[in-house]
Amino acid sequence: MTIPAPLSAQPALDRTRAIEARGLDVYYGAFRAIKGIDLEVTRNRVTALIGPSGCGKSTLLRALNRMNDLIPGSRVQGQVLFRGQNIYDASVDPVQVRRRIGMVFQKPNPFPKSIYENVAWGARLNGFRGDMDGHVERALRQAALWDEVKDKLAESAMALSGGQQQRLCIARAIAVKPEIILMDEPASALDPIATLRIEDLMRALAMDYTIVVVTHNMQQAARASDDTAFLLMGEDRAGILVEFGSTRQLFTNPKDKRTEDYITGRFG
Amino acid sequence: MSARWEVLSGDEAGTLPEGEGLRLNLARRYRVASLWRTFFVAAVLVAIVSLTALLYNVIDQAFGLVAVQNTVEPASLAVGGVPLAEQTSEQLLTLLQQRVPSAVLRRMESEQPLAQRSREDLNALVLERVVQLRVLKSWPLHLSLLDREAIEAQVGEQYPQARLVFRSWLTPEFLTRSQSSTPALAGVRTALLGSLWTIAITLLVAFPLGVGAAIYLEEYARDSWINRALQTNISNLAGVPSIIYGILGLAMLVRGLEPLTSGAWFGAVDPTTANGRTILSAGLTLALLVLPVVIINAQEAIRAVPRSLRLASYALGATQWQTIWHHVLPSALPGILTGSVMAMSRAIGETAPLVVVGASTFIAVDPSGPFSKFTTLPIQIYQWTSRPQDQFRNIAAAAILVLLALFLTLNASAVLLRNRYSRRYVS
């Protein structure tokens, strides 16, 4: 196996496009979970993926940083272009992809280590050199968690509240300096106050990162996102992209009848 | 779909009990529940009674009254007013040469030259061979406590020369004395050291191999028919009778790999060791025996690591090995350790395979390394219980207590390790 060139060495061909799916199909065994998805995610924006349960939102999200590779029997057709390169090319190492495209999960999943170690570990394993204390502090500040944990960095992350744990997971993702952060229903396990904090955080993070967020909550998409993609299960149970546009346009003036039915609560 | 729903929501399809019917229905359900509960309590009681009976039996034999008599009174062995306990090695040696038959002396010389033995050893030999404190008869603990007058009367009648003393067969000296053909002078040091050596080799071999195999099977192996067959075979191997492993050990390790197990490859041949019947063979045989158990336990511990932890690691750009080393193994470690120590407990109690591999029935020389011949505690117990003299039953009981203490130590260390490495998973 040849050692692939690091993705960072590729010239950034498109200054505005962060990541793009082209004709993307994902299969789990014989079952096609999503079909023919074309999606262009713009840099420094929050893009929400909405749709009813089982429409393939999370599958699409995981396909964007090759987390689907970890599911036995999964298979991808089509392309996901990142920095002008298809991340499913044989020459691309998925470890490189995930280093550039981070992920935050539905349930907060901090490591059973100290708060400090949670943030430092990812940076260290990717070869971080320099002032680790400062690096950890910056990541925690960016995740709006620093003030709450600065006096107990050595304590277990498991002792934090759910909302704090989720922000710690975001800090952990930031600490490896990704370009894109994928979030899979990051607030669905949290109470309304903690949810709002995560939403504020997403908005703030979009200054430096590109955010793609799956959400069940349409208010959340409307409040916190710039662009919205609406997915729906097709006749063969494969998820398809019905409509994609700016959040304002999609929620106020949907082009597709099915989008309108969904956002007005007629089904889903 | 809708048609069926209408039938269910109507009132013709059936009724639920109300009033008196509900009361009866509930009473019947409670009756069934209390029957099951009684069964569960009974099951626990049976287990407790069995364990108590086991302990009672062992303790009953390990302590009790004995009638003892010296063949030669130690006072008569004093030389120039120096009592036996204070004599020098040379004096003791002379004493032995005067009083012990030369055939016995030659045998003792071949085990370890007498001149090289320590003063304590020589003193013990004098006590064993010359003074010969003989236990004429022993009584179990329950008789000793409840029926002392009858025993005293019996001793006065049958053994007028003898003294009646209360004896604990389990003494500190019992742990430090080596084998002897006189039960009252025998100890378990050789067997205890043999057990510890053997279990150390078993642990050193079975733990890394077992955990390694478990990591491969859980983390790397694809779901192919070969790996499924492998998995099934490992599960089956865990249930193979241990004597089969003994035969495997005899054929493969003692005979087939004799140059290795006898130490010939390392130039460490012990002239008293006949071929490959060594501690190394025993340890490796037991390692083979517990390997499937270690693998299965470790696999279960690894499988119990939450998937979310692996995903979190991968999402940060960790490689598979980094994920395994930094997250999966630390989280699985308490389970792996507990399972492995349980497997070691099983190995330390194994008897049958070691009989086949060739544990010595009688050795008085301590094992000095992996190429020594050996005996182990369970073998020793088995030997002693099959001897005709009653007193061997007493020391067998004492040896069982030693073995049980070893078990408890191992299991307690498993609990301690688990608590030490356990991390709590919240939410």
Question: Are B222 and B259 contained in the same domain?
Answer: yes
pLDDT score of B3: 46
Distance from CA of A153 to the nearest CA of B (A): 17
A158 has a chain B CB within 8 A of its CB: yes
State how many domains chain B has.
Answer: 2
Residue A85 and residue A220: Cα distance in Å, rounded?
A: 32
**CA of B4, closest CA in chain A: separation in Å?**
24
Q: String of b and e for B313-326 (b: at least 16 CB within 10 Å)?
A: bbbbbbeeebbbeb
Say if residue B318 is in the same domain as residue B263.
yes
| Residue B57 included in any domain | no
Q: What span, in angstroms and rounded, lies between the C-alpha atoms of B170 and B141?
A: 13
Find tokens 């409040």 and name the residue: A223
What structural domains and CATH numbers belong to chain A? 15-113+180-263 (3.40.50.300)
Tell me the C-alpha distance between B334 and B385, whole Å.
Answer: 38
- Which residue, of B173, B202, B222, is where some domain finishes? B173
* Shortest distance, CA A112 to any CA of chain B (angstroms): 7
Q: Which residues have a Cβ under 8 Å from the Cβ of B370 and sit 6 or more positions away? A: B197, B201, B263, B278, B279, B280, B283
ipTM, two decimals, is 0.90
Residue B22 lies in a domain: no
The 3-state secondary structure of chain A, one letter per residue: CCCCCCHHHCCCCCCCEEEEEEEEEEEECCEEEEEEEEEEEECCCEEEEECCCCCCHHHHHHHCCCHHHHCCCEEEEEEEEECCEECCCCCCCHHHHHHHEEEECCCCCCCCCEHHHHHHHHHHHCCCCCCHHHHHHHHHHHCCCHHHHCCCCCCEHHHCCHHHHHHHHHHHHHCCCCCEEEEECCCCCCCHHHHHHHHHHHHHHCCCCEEEEECCCHHHHHHHCCEEEEEEECCCCCEEEEEEEEHHHHHHCCCCHHHHHHHCCCCC
- The pLDDT value recorded for residue B9 is 52
A62 and chain B: CB distance < 8 Å anywhere? no
> Do residue B300 and residue B387 come from a single domain?
yes
Q: Do B115 and B198 belong together in one domain?
A: no
Token couple for B323? 């994920």
- A158, B423: Cβ pair inside 8 Å? yes
Tell me how close the Cα of A261 comes to any Cα of chain B, in angstroms.
Answer: 25
Per-residue tens of pLDDT for chain B, all 427 residues = 444 445 455 566 888 888 899 999 999 999 999 999 999 999 999 999 999 999 999 999 999 888 888 877 777 777 777 777 778 888 888 888 888 888 888 887 877 787 788 888 888 788 777 777 778 888 889 888 888 888 888 888 888 888 888 888 888 888 888 877 778 778 888 889 999 999 999 999 999 999 999 999 999 988 889 999 999 999 999 889 999 999 999 988 888 887 787 777 777 665 555 577 888 899 999 999 999 999 999 999 999 999 999 999 999 999 999 999 999 999 999 889 889 988 999 899 888 898 888 777 777 777 877 888 888 899 989 988 888 888 888 899 999 999 999 999 988 988 887 787 765 443 3
3-state secondary structure B18-79: CHHHHHHHHHHHHHHHHHHHHHHHHHHHHHHHHHHHHHHHHHHHHEEEEEEEECCCHHHHCE
Residues B272 and B365 in one domain: yes
**Interface residue of B218, B322, B427 to substitute, partner A, most A CBs within 10 Å:** B427
In a domain, B166, yes or no: yes
| One domain, residues B160 and B209 | no
- Provide the domain limits for residue B151: 65-173
Domain identity same for B141 and B211: no
Residues B346, B198 within the same domain: yes
Is there a single domain that holds both residue B138 and residue B251? Answer: no
| Other beta carbons within 10 Å of B389 | 14
Assess if residue B107 is contained within a domain.
yes
Which of A111, A125, A156 lies closest to B322 in CB terms?
Answer: A125
| Last residue within a domain, chosen from B173, B201, B236 | B173
**Gap between the terminal Cα atoms of chain A:** 46
CB within 8 Å: A125 and B427: no
Judge: A169–B312 Cβ closer than 8 Å, yes or no.
yes
Chain A residues within an 8 Å CB radius of B313: 111
B207 with B344, same domain: the answer is yes
Listed residue (A134, A158, A156) closest to A146, CA to CA: A134
Query: End of a domain among B173, B203, B218?
Result: B173
Ranges of chain A whose pLDDT falls below 50 = 1-2, 6, 8-13
Task: Give B425's contacts in chain A (Cβ within 8 Å).
Answer: 112, 158
pLDDT score for A11: 45
Residue-level pLDDT at B417: 79
Q: What is the CATH number of the domain that holds B405?
A: 1.10.3720.10
Shared domain check, B194 and B273: yes
Q: Is residue B312 part of a domain?
A: yes
Specify whether B74 is located in the same domain as B147: yes
User: Contact A91/A2 with Cβ under 8 angstroms?
Assistant: yes
User: Considering the domain boundaries, does residue B322 fall inside one?
Assistant: yes
Task: Compute the count of residue pairs across chains A and B with CB atoms less than 8 Å apart.
Answer: 75
Q: Which amino acid is at B29?
A: R
Chain A residues within an 8 Å CB radius of B219: none
Whether residue B258 lies inside any domain: the answer is: yes
Residue B180 in domain: no
Task: State both tokens at B253.
Answer: 């390790």
Beta strands B133-138 and B63-70: pairing type?
Answer: antiparallel
